[in-house]
Amino acid sequence: KTVCVTGGSGFIASWLVKLLLQRGCTVKASVRDPNDPKKVEHLLALDGAKDRLHLFKANLLEEGSFDEAIDGCDGVFHTASPFHNPTSDPEAELIDPALKGTLNVLRSCAKAPSVKRVVLTSSVAAVICNDRPRTPDVIVDETWWSLPDFCRENKMWYVLSKTLAEEAAWKFVQEKGIDMVVINPAMVIGPLLQPTLNTSAAAILNLVNGAETFPNLTFGWVDVRDVATAHILAFENPEANGRYCLVESVAHQSKIVKILGDLYPSIKFPEKCANDNPLAPEYQVSKERAKSLGLEFTPLKQSLKDTVESLKEKNFLT
Ligand code: NDP
């Protein structure tokens, strides 16, 4: 099979490219700058890359940029989307590349008759951010949708970017008759293949590198290897459809600090919460659909250990 991975050098995409090559696929990966060694060297070093990895230069904001990478592919994994805190202009930095970029990629898919299925990397960010209460007895599932107005009111720009992109993608594929499956992971951690620090791994690095306090935040967590595997299962299983939330466990940052402290007693972790508000409540996210794909989750403790080991190995620890 020949497949395209957009944003191939990213944290999740690098694992996806690795596992697709391992499965014998020919991979056409798009990157913004194929001449930047930090973006491509780790991909070119993967097993099978020499024979079956092809790099293409593409930018989400350039119309038609992905045509060449997508042409002739059986499947397209659209992972590229900015994930960082915007500096000044959320529209230009996050929302345009997510929303216009997703439609740009889907238009290239619509032009390529070879494409049988698109797997879109959305996020639980597009699922959970609305006015419904989240408490320990609430089970969030794939029927939930984040509300754009709620995101705007709370200035949750990344969440808004993912919500608008996924909404627009569903509308587009329904109009054009494209087969799409969506993966909605929570905070993704685990070993880094790329040499640069991505946003979700940075959340763990921050705790390990001597932060005074931990944020008063509760997130779902999932391992990057499981996220990559879920994308492949969603592509390979003809029965796969709709959205798949990927959350191994939901845990407040205080719990993450506790697990890390047990794993690394010699490291000093923050003991205090960043504010005096009640701790952001935990909730549950349904694993039923993810398990129906055949996915088995790596336990959170293992993912945290592998994240820290990887951050150490790449010299991110101060
Ligand atoms: P990374 O920052 O590692 O990867 C983001 C990728 O998007 C990079 O390859 C980047 O390319 C690409 N990209 C950003 N802007 C553009 C643009 N204008 N044109 C082309 N490519 C662009 O993050 P992750 O691997 O974590 O994220 C990958 C996907 O997973 C995203 O869609 C993200 O929203 C989603 N996700 C991530 C979660 C997480 O916790 N990590 C959780 C849930 C969803 P370049 O290398 O050139 O910068």
pLDDT tens for each residue of 229-261:
999 999 999 999 999 999 999 999 999 999 999
Backbone angles phi, psi at 184, to 5 degrees: -120, 80
pLDDT digits (tens, 9 = 90+) for 267-307: 999 999 999 999 999 999 999 999 999 999 999 999 999 99
Give the residue from 103, 160, 110 showing the smallest Cα distance to 130.
160
Backbone angles phi, psi at 39, to 5 degrees: -95, -20
Q: Are strands 139-140 and 284-285 parallel, antiparallel or unpaired?
A: parallel
What is the separation, in whole angstroms, between the first and last Cα of the chain? 43
| CA 149/CA 156 separation, integer angstroms | 10
Question: How much is the average pLDDT of 1-15?
Answer: 98
| CA 275/CA 267 separation, integer angstroms | 23
Question: How much is the average pLDDT of 158-183?
Answer: 98
Least confident of 12-16, 48-52, 86-90, 98-102: 86-90
Determine the residue type at 218.
T
Q: ∠ CA(125), CA(170), CA(5), 5° rounding?
A: 75
Q: Is the pLDDT of residue 220 over 80?
A: yes
Q: Is the pLDDT of residue 72 over 90?
A: yes
Predicted confidence band of residue 87 (pLDDT cuts 50, 70, 90): confident
CA of 39 to the centre of ligand 1 (A): 12
Q: Which of 6, 12, 36 to mutate to test the pocket of ligand 1 (most atoms within 8 A of CB)?
A: 12
What pLDDT sits at residue 248? 98
CA of 252 to the centre of ligand 1 (A): 24
Question: What residue owns the CA closest to ligand 1's atom 15?
Answer: 82
Q: Are strands 218-223 and 249-252 parallel, antiparallel or unpaired?
A: antiparallel
Residue where the block lists tokens 């299962």: 233
Q: Is the pLDDT of residue 85 over 90?
A: no
What pLDDT sits at residue 60? 98
Which residues' Cβ are closer than 6 Å to ligand 1? 7, 9-13, 31-32, 39, 59-61, 79-83, 97, 121, 123, 162, 185, 187-188, 198, 200
Q: Is the pLDDT of residue 86 over 80?
A: no
Question: How much is the average pLDDT of 120-135?
Answer: 97
CA of 302 to the centre of ligand 1 (A): 24
pTM of the shown model: 0.98
Predicted ipTM > 0.90: yes
The proportion of the chain whose per-residue pLDDT surpasses 70, expressed as a percent, equals: 100
Predicted confidence band of residue 119 (pLDDT cuts 50, 70, 90): very high
CA of 79 to the centre of ligand 1 (A): 6
Q: ∠ CA(189), CA(170), CA(104), 5° rounding?
A: 80
Question: How much is the average pLDDT of 99-128?
Answer: 98
